[in-house]
Chain A
């Protein structure tokens, strides 16, 4: 892997982290809106 690839992968990893944070927050909000339960919570 070239140095450029390494740099791109670094930024992609950071991007991935931020995307995951948004996805998780939006999933939580949608879960609250849908039925008042947080995603993954049962019983």
Chain B
């Protein structure tokens, strides 16, 4: 893979709370659903960590299977491969992480909880600044997600 690193595949898998055997089962299921032959379960269990470590890159058919497995995250992107595989995978990974970010209110609640317990490592002003910065970046995330939706021609609410 050129733009999608093994680290991204690992974070993507772990983001769904799947261990390697589960990832192998999901890839085999996607293959079975489309009538494709893939490596046996134990073979995939060996290959997935190699892909994730970057020791070797998954072949095209496995990259396509990743797209099928994560179709829910990809939305319509996998249909007809409107985007290059690497772009679609990278996009899906970042979107998946963005979807797991806390809401501004949750960050504020976290800030309040931290401020309620005085500590030496950060001053209250620094803690407030950190939370404010996180919320500012969160707004940027929303803006970039909207920009992506527009670029992809997706319907926006």
A5 at interface by CB-CB < 8 Å: yes
Within the complex, what minimum Cβ distance (angstroms) separates B65 from chain A?
A: 21
DSSP majority for the B interface?
helix
Chain B residues within 8 Å of A18, by CB? 137-138, 140-141, 144
Within the complex, what minimum Cβ distance (angstroms) separates A21 from chain B?
A: 4
Give the interface size class of chain A. 20 to 34
Which residues of chain A from 3 to 40 have any CB-CB distance to chain B below 8 Å in the complex? 4-5, 7-9, 11-12, 14-16, 18-19, 21-23, 25-26, 28-30, 32-33, 36-38
Task: Report whether A8 and B87 are in contact in the complex, using a CB–CB cutoff of 8 Å.
Answer: yes
Give the size of the chain B interface in residues (CB under 8 angstroms). 37
DSSP majority for the A interface?
helix
B152 at interface by CB-CB < 8 Å: yes
A-B contact count (CB 8 A): 99
Task: Report whether B101 and A22 are in contact in the complex, using a CB–CB cutoff of 8 Å.
Answer: yes
> In the complex, which residue of chain A has the Cβ closest to the Cβ of B148?
A11
A11-B147, A11-B151, A33-B110 known; A22-B137 Cβ under 8 A = yes
Q: Which single member of B91, B130, B140, B141 contacts A8 (CB below 8 Å)?
A: B91
CA distance A12 to B98 in the complex (A): 11
B39 at interface by CB-CB < 8 Å: no
